[in-house]
């Protein structure tokens, strides 16, 4: 998977937005909370370290479930939660800072954030090169970026919309290295006592 590259037309972007607007009502598949013990959360916290007083972006936040964990750990952090679907953002309450926008055209200035994460959102960007460039653009030099997404070697395990794209480990590493001075990646599971099954990968980059 990954060879088919549809163009991000205005019509396709509208269909993606509409899909997530409708999905906001589906709490089972698009939950508003997450167990803070899962490794997807812990790797973000461990990679960023103490973000008290810093600016953090949740890029493609959905209902803000990861962002709520971070602000619970660091109440003085300025955590921005951005998503394409306004219906998702209705679940994002202060002190989180909600914002509607697209991964391919982030509504923020260069170097606006100390760190950024994107969990299972880049796969919906369609224009992956453009989205990666934007994610890196809005992070300060020396800032950290965490991307958690699905491994294209396991394509077919889940039902997906036609625009969704999964990534090879080296493929996304190479894209990040165009903009970042350090990139590492590895498989990740949900739980510390369960070995990764290959479905999820985490990429950690430093601008």
DSSP H or E segment with residue 13: helix 10-23
Q: Tell me which of 2.60.120.1310, 3.40.50.150, 3.40.50.740, 3.40.50.1100 is the CATH number of domain 10-206.
A: 3.40.50.150
Q: State pTM to two decimals.
A: 0.95
| CB of 105 closer than 8 Å to CB of 171 | no
* C-alpha distance from residue 157 to each of 45, 165, 191 (Å): 28, 13, 19
Ranges of beta strands (E only) in 113-180 are: 113-119, 139-150
| CB of 137 closer than 8 Å to CB of 90 | no
Beta bridge partners, 57, equal 80, 116
| pLDDT score, position 4 | 57
> Domain ranges in the chain?
10-206
pLDDT tens by residue, the chain, 207 residues: 444 567 899 999 999 999 999 999 999 999 999 999 999 999 999 999 999 999 999 999 999 999 999 999 999 999 999 999 999 999 999 999 999 999 999 999 999 999 999 999 999 999 999 999 999 999 999 999 999 999 999 999 999 999 999 999 999 999 999 999 999 999 999 999 999 999 999 999 999
17-28 pLDDT, tens digit each = 999 999 999 999
| CB of 71 closer than 8 Å to CB of 95 | yes
């Amino acid at each position: 998977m990954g060879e088919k590259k549809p163009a991000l037309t205005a019509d396709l972007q509208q269909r993606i937005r509409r899909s997530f607007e409708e999905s906001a009502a589906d709490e089972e598949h698009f939950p508003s909370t997450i167990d803070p013990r899962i490794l997807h959360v812990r790797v973000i916290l461990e990679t960023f370290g103490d973000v008290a007083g810093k600016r953090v972006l949740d890029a493609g936040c959905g209902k803000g479930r990861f962002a709520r964990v971070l602000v619970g750990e660091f109440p003085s952090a300025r955590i921005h939660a951005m998503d394409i679907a306004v219906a998702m953002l209705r679940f994002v309450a202060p002190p989180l800072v909600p914002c509607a926008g697209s991964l391919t055209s982030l509504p923020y200035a260069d170097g606006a954030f100390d760190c950024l994460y994107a969990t299972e959102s880049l796969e919906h960007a369609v224009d992956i090169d453009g989205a990666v460039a934007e994610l890196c653009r809005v992070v300060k030099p020396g800032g950290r970026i965490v991307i958690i997404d699905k491994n294209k070697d396991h394509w077919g395990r889940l039902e997906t919309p036609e625009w969704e794209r999964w990534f090879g480990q080296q493929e996304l590493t190479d894209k990040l290295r165009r903009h970042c001075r350090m990139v590492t990646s590895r498989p990740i599971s949900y739980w510390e006592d369960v070995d990764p099954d290959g479905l999820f990968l985490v990429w950690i980059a430093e601008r």
